Every structure is written in structure tokens, then in C-alpha cells.
Amino acid sequence: MISLRRILAPVDFSDCSDKAVAYAAELADKLRAELTVLYVVPDLTLAMPDAVMPVPVATPDMDDLVKSANESLAKLISDRKMTATGSVRIGSAAAEIVDAAKTGQSDLIVIGTHGRGGLAHLLLGSVAEKVVRTAPCPVLTVRG
């Protein structure tokens, strides 16, 4: 029998991820599983290397971003009146989600997908697709 004891729900605070969190919370409640809601703060140093920038770009303080993310997660969990743990990581979203699933021994990842196709998908990539391809456990995608 399949046992789902730990569910991971990555969020980006979009309507799409909100819908996925609703699915995850409902599943966790019905299955009496632990739910972790994860937000990944993008590591801006990966996106903006100093070597190619003609003028230094002001970047937000990482501590402030993490603090804000923790507050937003706490509010999301409180507003939905769900039993969950909030978690914040810094880095590349897909890689951090997969690593969180591995280290947390998640049995299921519930992730929202924007459903982009064509050129938008090619240019923006898909965190959900990368997670599906590399996750250590099953992934439920919820289309926004």
C-alpha cells in the first residue's frame, strides 16, 4: 500500500501555487500527513554576475528577503488555517525543491504549474517540469 506521510508544497505566492497548496492541505488533512510549505528565495548572485555588469546593481538584502518570505509563509498557513510547517531556502527553485524533498524524505510533491507552452515555456523554463524530471518521489502538478 502507498503511504503518504510527508507532503511538500512549494509556493511562489501566485494564484497558481495557492491552488496547489489547497490541494496539498486537503490531501495532508485526509491522509494525516505532515505538510511542509516551501518557498525558495532566488539567489540573485546566480542571476546577476558582477563580471558582466557595467555598473554595480543594488540587490536587496538576503536576510530581509528571507525574513519577508518567512512572514509570508506564516500568514499563508495561518490564513488557510492549516497544520503545516513553513520552510525557506535560498537558491535555484527547482534544485532546492528537489533537495528539500530528498532531505525531508517527502512522499509527494504538490506543485502548481502555470501551463505555459511554446515560446513562453522556452524562454522562462518550467520549475514544475524540472521538478517532475528530477524529484525523488511522485509529483502532483496542479494547473492554475
Task: Read off the pLDDT of residues 89-135 as tens digits, 9 standing for 90 and up.
Answer: 999 999 999 999 999 999 999 999 875 555 544 444 589 989 999 99
- Domains of the chain, by residue range, sit at 6-128+139-143
pLDDT tens readout for residues 15-52: 889 999 999 999 999 999 999 999 999 887 655 555 55
Structure confidence at residue 62 as a pLDDT band (50, 70, 90): confident
Does domain 6-128+139-143 fall into CATH 3.40.50.300? no
pLDDT, residue 16, reads 87
pLDDT, residue 90, reads 95
pTM of the predicted structure, to 2 decimals: 0.85
pLDDT, residue 124, reads 45
Residues 6 or more apart from 47 whose CB is under 8 A from it?
none
pLDDT tens readout for residues 64-82: 999 999 999 999 999 999 9
Smallest CA-to-CA distance from 104 within 28, 26, 35 is with 35
More confident residue, 9 or 113: 9
Q: How many CB atoms lie within 10 A of CB 97?
A: 27
